[in-house]
Structure 1
Amino acid sequence: MSTEIKEKIEVEHSECHDHFNDTIEDNSPKATVIKSDAEKIFVKKLNWTLLPFIWSIIFIQFADKSSLSLAAVLGMLQDTHTSQSQYSFLGSVFYIGYIVWQIPNNYFIQRLPIRRYLGVLLVLWGISVGCTALCQNFTQLVICRVLLGLFEAGTYPCLYIVLNSLYRRQEQSACFGFLWMSNGSGTIFAVLISYGIAHLDGAHGIAAWRWNYMIYGILTVVIGIATFFFMVDSPQSKYLRLTEAEKKIVEARTQDNAVVMDRAVKVSHYWEAVKEPRYYLVLLAAFCNNLSNSGLVVFSTPFVATLGFTSLNSILLQIPSAAISVLFVLLAVVINRKSKNMSLPTIVCGGIAMIGCILLACLPHTSIKLLGYYLAWGFNGSYVMLLTIVSNNVSGYSKKIWYNASVMVAYTVGAFVGPLVMLDYEFPVYRTGMIIFVIGNLLVVLSVCTMLYLMKRTNKKRAQNTHGEKTDAHLDLTDKQDKNFFYKL
């Protein structure tokens, strides 16, 4: 880079660096940004512009994914001549498409405008959902489930990088908390809608489970079109209508979160990631967390139905589990914000999830098991902390995208395996699956605590050699290359 260009960059960003440095108390891992009134107003505008899209996308994704569980108690298995073991496979085969798409997804996120790319994916998966209503046999269901997984695969990586680029590091536990609470709150709306749809059984000669897929398919396409045209996907989005003062605020926030969207794919960032021990700890935690996630989601309604509840009531009983999952996420975020510590909320939520799975394995198979079932959703809180750790502590645009994609691959493999450990011959207790979920939650806690220890050790070494300097985020250095980068713990 020539001297002239360097001087130009310094002039353009000097004022923003001054603002950034003035709003930070120190350069420690627990440094707190003191936001101005103008920035607080900007954040409110950002929230109201972006978060409704986030909620809608997560709501419809969870609704579409969990439709299989609802359809299972509304006659789908009988209408398509699908056995219980084949139903288990339907729960897992969705994730084949999910895994297959992660590598091309990694490329497209970096090369295409995110809102347009994500909008197209939403439309395509909406069509896949609608086509499921036409299925007459197991093979057709498998094809639709694979396609659904393929087109849904890009959702979370797209949303992760948007949140990474728009919010400060100290805000991101709340951001990912909102993302995961959207899962729970969206489920409540989805269950109420599905409960109403269940009463359409036989209307115009169409079974209720087919109505469910048709209605959600249409709704997904509508959300996809809105996303394509109107979602905020970058700090400079025209839909934020930035004033000159807000442009300076956005630049200061970019320096804080160290995420600058770069269309150039840097393979060296990928290689750096795969050489890091914490990378494999992240993968292990994501895999183990989603064992119980997918197992409980796929078998949720049929499992509750075996406790002595009718099909319609077993649908309604998903509302408390959704509400409790929201509370666990909220609990994790509150503990994190109060303690400025990520290991404590992970231990609390992971421990509660373990207790829930132990109860599911040991209690008599009666309605008392609902207690264990609801506690088991504590894994949502520990997963939010895992996402926050990755978001806060990985810099370099290509490296961050690689980490996000890798988390999704591990998430997907865990979600694929989860339903398979719910052994058919153990129906409806699934004791082996519950024991595996206990071990999985324990490994999540151990993995998170270990990676936080490794990053704390690096922070101590860097504290001895730096003097509070800040590195320009536009250089797109990784957290390993930038010796002024301190990990958030």
Structure 2
Amino acid sequence: MSQTGAPKQQQDEQVESIDAAPHSAPGPDRNMKEDQALELIEDIGHSTILTPENNAHVLRKIDLRLLPILLGIYFLQQLDKSTLAYASVFGIIEKAHLHGQDYSWLGSVVYLAQLVAQPLVAYCLVTLPLGKFLAVSTLLWGIMLSCMTAADSFGSLLACRLLLGLFEAGIAPAFIAVTQMWYRRREQPVRLGSWYAMNGVVNMFGSLLTWGLGHINSPVLAPYQIIFLFFGLITVGLSLVILIYMPDSPIKSKFLQEEDKLVAIERLRMNQQGFESDKWKWDHVKEACLDVKSWIWFALMFSISIPSGGISTFGPLIIESFGFNKFNTILFNIPFGAVQLVATMGGAWLATILKMKGPVLILLCLPPIAGCVMLLRIPHDNMHKAPLLAGYYIISVYPGITPLIYSWSAANTAGETKKKVTTGILVVGQCIGNVIGPNLYTTAEAPLYTRGLTSNLAMFCVLIVLCTSNMAYLTVLNKKHEKRRVELGKDAKPIDHSMHAVGAVEADKEDMPVQVLAQDNAFKDMTDMKNEDFVYVY
């Protein structure tokens, strides 16, 4: 395939696929293949060239099919998790005779179940079809939430919440896997942020829905039981939609035509992360467990999940402690969701523009630090309701941190099995933090919640230190890969096209040789440590 006669602008626009996607590559023996993308290219007999036009066309089709499903799933999952916080306002603590740490453990046990389930989840995400996995998981957690309607004691609620956490354990890891499988690294922060932003939407519309459901006078069901049943049945209905419309992968999707599938493959070639493989590899597991980055992701997620778990469980009670009744408490939780939404999407947008996530994460830690200080220092009386609410709303910037950690980890990990194991380690950190977080708050400490807020303040400061350390470590890894590339006769610092828009023309491109990251490693299911062409992003 020669491009010598093509205009200079066309060469620039197609630089990501020149020589990386030959139209008639014979391909290696099928038994030697590491990735199903290579099998599809060989079956069709040719690859394709990625252009701004066909990239935009296929990306639009992918977004229109995947995002509504992912947003719907995560919206209901967060509603399902939030039902306990809403139920606390509508009398579940009194009617279920919860005392001491009982309510805190109902918030924590969900994450304890998810923690235990992560090894199995990682294996399932490699070996099972993703679409079917999501459909079954959604069905089971919807059934379990509906069953919580009949729970009227701590023991029965604890059992239901434990099973609810077990069935929800694979949702976030599956979403990360979907994002890695369908999107370029440049596109991942906004897509990850979009479904995680459902936390904010839930706090807005979920609060309104709950406010309405709480006004239903039923001689049979208490308001909190109506909340459980309503959202549980909706979740069961969504599982059927997922089963019908959620594709397992780009290669197996029915909504993409043959040429669209080839474009989907070429879109991800520059990620150097592989495409799809159903082989579980123990050497990937070993590398993930020994990789320092894995434990930095663990520490980052652990640190943000302690305040996240505590505030999400006790948020309505914190507002109620300012002196509001139960209905005003629910309504005043709506601005909390609006700030979450803006912070999550704003952080994702800024990370995309800067092509860096570490500095954005540090920036997002500053408002919650200020908010915690305000709640700890401002007197809790009727004269200070407004500044107390302002402090609470400032804290609500913190949900923008979690999806950026997801995205940062996803963009810096390659190899199908390693990606799933690394995500599992990250989610384990999240679960442990969410188990500890609610238990740092107790209803006995109302209205100040000093221990919980102080620990949250400390964790936001720790996050800043961890982000700085991680950026330094990624710099070291990039230097090592540069040295290996030079030893192999490659450019030390190739352009990382996965972080640039398709067809983007860098200002100094005319003075540079046109070089594309080596295509030989793109679909070999190599880990990021072993693939010298992998470029770590900050």
Instruction: Compute the TM-score of the two structures, normalised by the length of structure 2.
Output: 0.83
**Hey, what's the Cα distance between the residues in 1 that align with 2:46 and 2:361?**
39
Letter paired with 2:336: S
Shift of 1:113: 1.0
Letter paired with 1:225: L
1:28 corresponds in structure 2 to none
Residue 240 of structure 1 aligns to a residue whose secondary structure is coil
Return the match for 1:329 from 333, 344, 355: 344
2:328 corresponds in structure 1 to 313
Letter paired with 1:5: D
1:209 corresponds in structure 2 to 224
Shift of 1:3: 9.4
2:52 corresponds in structure 1 to 36
**Hey, what's the Cα distance between the residues in 2 that align with 1:462 and 1:195?**
55
Unaligned runs of 5+ residues in structure 1 are 21-34
1:476 corresponds in structure 2 to 525
2:112 is equivalent to residue 88 of structure 1: no
The 1:115–1:3 alpha-carbon spacing in structure 2 relative to 1, beyond 3 Å, is closer
Return the match for 1:181 from 180, 184, 197: 197
Unaligned runs of 5+ residues in structure 2 are 1-25, 495-516
Letter paired with 1:170: R
1:29 corresponds in structure 2 to none
**Hey, what's the Cα distance between the residues in 1 that align with 2:176 and 2:358?**
21
The 1:318–1:237 alpha-carbon spacing in structure 2 relative to 1, beyond 3 Å, is farther
1:396-415 aligned within 5 A: 396-415=415-434
1:67-146 aligned within 5 A: 67-146=83-162
**Hey, what's the Cα distance between the residues in 1 that align with 2:76 and 2:149?**
16
In terms of mean alpha carbon deviation, does 419-428 or 471-480 score higher? Answer: 419-428
The 1:411–1:4 alpha-carbon spacing in structure 2 relative to 1, beyond 3 Å, is closer
2:396 is equivalent to residue 377 of structure 1: yes
**Hey, what's the Cα distance between the residues in 2 that align with 1:143 and 1:177?**
31
1:279 corresponds in structure 2 to 294
Shift of 1:375: 1.2
**Hey, what's the Cα distance between the residues in 1 that align with 2:198 and 2:110?**
21
**Hey, what's the Cα distance between the residues in 1 that align with 2:229 and 2:148?**
8
Task: Pick the structure with greater CA Rg.
Answer: 2
1:358 corresponds in structure 2 to 373
Contact 1:282 1:448 survives alignment (8 Å) = no
2:265 is equivalent to residue 251 of structure 1: yes
**Hey, what's the Cα distance between the residues in 1 that align with 2:107 and 2:346?**
29
**Hey, what's the Cα distance between the residues in 1 that align with 2:444 and 2:320?**
17
1:444 corresponds in structure 2 to 463
In terms of mean alpha carbon deviation, does 345-354 or 477-486 score higher? Answer: 345-354
- Tell me how many residue pairs correspond in the alignment: 471
Residue 395 of structure 1 aligns to a residue whose secondary structure is coil
**Hey, what's the Cα distance between the residues in 2 that align with 1:39 and 1:481?**
29
**Hey, what's the Cα distance between the residues in 2 that align with 1:312 and 1:392?**
43
Shift of 1:259: 3.1
**Hey, what's the Cα distance between the residues in 1 that align with 2:410 and 2:423?**
8
**Hey, what's the Cα distance between the residues in 2 that align with 1:438 and 1:148?**
30
**Hey, what's the Cα distance between the residues in 2 that align with 1:114 and 1:386?**
22
Letter paired with 2:131: R
Contact 2:186 2:355 survives alignment (8 Å) = no
Contact 2:203 2:336 survives alignment (8 Å) = no
**Hey, what's the Cα distance between the residues in 2 that align with 1:419 and 1:385?**
23
**Hey, what's the Cα distance between the residues in 2 that align with 1:114 and 1:4?**
27
The structure whose RCO (Cα within 8 Å, separation 6+) is larger is: 2
Letter paired with 1:370: L
2:29 is equivalent to residue 5 of structure 1: yes
Shift of 1:379: 1.9
Shift of 1:232: 2.6
The 1:163–1:146 alpha-carbon spacing in structure 2 relative to 1, beyond 3 Å, is same
Superposed CA offset, 1:224-243 (max 9, x none)? 12112221331124342324
Contact 1:255 1:472 survives alignment (8 Å) = no
Return the match for 1:165 from 157, 167, 181: 181
1:241 corresponds in structure 2 to 256
Instruction: Compute the TM-score of the two structures, normalised by the length of structure 1.
Output: 0.92
1:155 corresponds in structure 2 to 171
**Hey, what's the Cα distance between the residues in 2 that align with 1:403 and 1:79?**
42
Shift of 1:297: 0.7
In terms of mean alpha carbon deviation, does 272-281 or 56-65 score higher? Answer: 272-281
**Hey, what's the Cα distance between the residues in 2 that align with 1:416 and 1:214?**
25
Contact 1:282 1:447 survives alignment (8 Å) = no
Shift of 1:4: 5.9
Shift of 1:5: 2.1
1:19 corresponds in structure 2 to 49
2:479 is equivalent to residue 460 of structure 1: yes
Percent identical among aligned pairs is: 26
Residue 351 of structure 1 aligns to a residue whose secondary structure is helix
Contact 2:100 2:444 survives alignment (8 Å) = no
Residue 170 of structure 1 aligns to a residue whose secondary structure is coil
1:413-432 aligned within 5 A: 413-432=432-451
Contact 2:75 2:198 survives alignment (8 Å) = yes
Contact 2:132 2:248 survives alignment (8 Å) = no
Shift of 1:14: 10
More helix, by proportion: 1
